[in-house]
Amino acid sequence: METLLQNLQSIHPLSVALVTYLQNHLKCRQIDKRDYLLKAGHICRNIYFIEKGLFRCFYLKGNVEVCSWFMKQGDVIASVLSFFNQTPSYESIQAVEESVVHYIEHRELEYIYRNFPEFNYVGRVLVQKYYMLSEQRLYSLRMQRGMERYDFLMQHHSDLILRVPAKYLASYLGISEAHLSVIKSRP
C-alpha cells in the first residue's frame, strides 16, 4: 500500500485525514495468473492499483478474444465505462502474471471526491494520463501498420514484449501471431 500512497502523493499532497481514510478502506488482493478481476457482463465495482503483476483487458469479437490494453505494476485499472456508469462491462480483465492489487469500491471513491477535495486533483491527473494513452492507442490502430505499432511498443513499453504471451501481443497489435513472428525476426 505504501507504493500506492507514494504514487498518489507524487501527484498532489494528500491530507493526513485522507491518508488515514485510504489506509482504513483500501483492500488488498492477490490474483493468480489467468484469474479474472472482471468478467464481461458484470459491473466493475472497484478501481484497482497494481502493486505487482500484469493484466490484460480483452473483449470478444465473435469467438475471438481481442486484447485492448495491458496494465502493469504502478498502473490503475478498471473497466472505464462500467466503473464510472456502474453498468455491465463488455470487456474482461485477466491476470497475465501472479499479481497483487489494492482496490477501493466505486461508492468509496465517490465519498473521497466529496470529502477530500485534494483528491479531485489526483483523480483529474490520473484520468488525463489514461485518456492520453487511449488516444495514442486509437491513433496507432487507425494510422499505423503492425510493424509501426510493434516498434512503438518496443520504444515505450519494451518489457511487455518479454512478459506478454505472443497470442495476446499479436491481438493487441492487430496482427496475426505469424506476422508478429516475422516482425520480431527482423534484423
Task: Output the tens digit of pLDDT for each of the chain's 187 residues.
Answer: 889 999 999 999 999 999 999 999 999 999 999 999 999 999 999 999 999 999 999 999 999 999 999 999 999 999 999 999 999 999 999 999 999 999 999 999 999 999 999 999 999 999 999 889 888 888 888 888 889 999 988 988 899 999 999 999 999 999 999 999 999 988 7
Which of 34, 163, 26, 38 is CA-nearest to residue 101? 26
Separation of alpha carbons 76 and 74, rounded Å: 7
Contact assessment for residue 132 and residue 116, using Cβ atoms and an 8 Å cutoff: no
Q: How far is CA 32 from CA 54, 88, 89, in A?
A: 11, 23, 21
Separation of alpha carbons 134 and 182, rounded Å: 27
The reported pLDDT for the residue numbered 114 is 97
The reported pLDDT for the residue numbered 144 is 86
The reported pLDDT for the residue numbered 172 is 93
Q: What angle, 0 to 180 degrees and rounded to 10, lies between the N-to-C axes of helices 2-11 and 16-25?
A: 140
The reported pLDDT for the residue numbered 1 is 84
The reported pLDDT for the residue numbered 156 is 87
Cell numbers representing residue 138 in the block? 486509437
Q: How far is CA 164 from CA 8, 29, 35, 105, in A?
A: 27, 22, 15, 28
The reported pLDDT for the residue numbered 37 is 97
The reported pLDDT for the residue numbered 141 is 80
Whether this prediction's pTM lies above 0.95 is answered by: no
Residue 156: partners with Cβ closer than 8 Å, 6 or more residues away: none
Which of 158, 153, 151 is CA-nearest to residue 183? 151
The reported pLDDT for the residue numbered 134 is 86
The reported pLDDT for the residue numbered 91 is 97
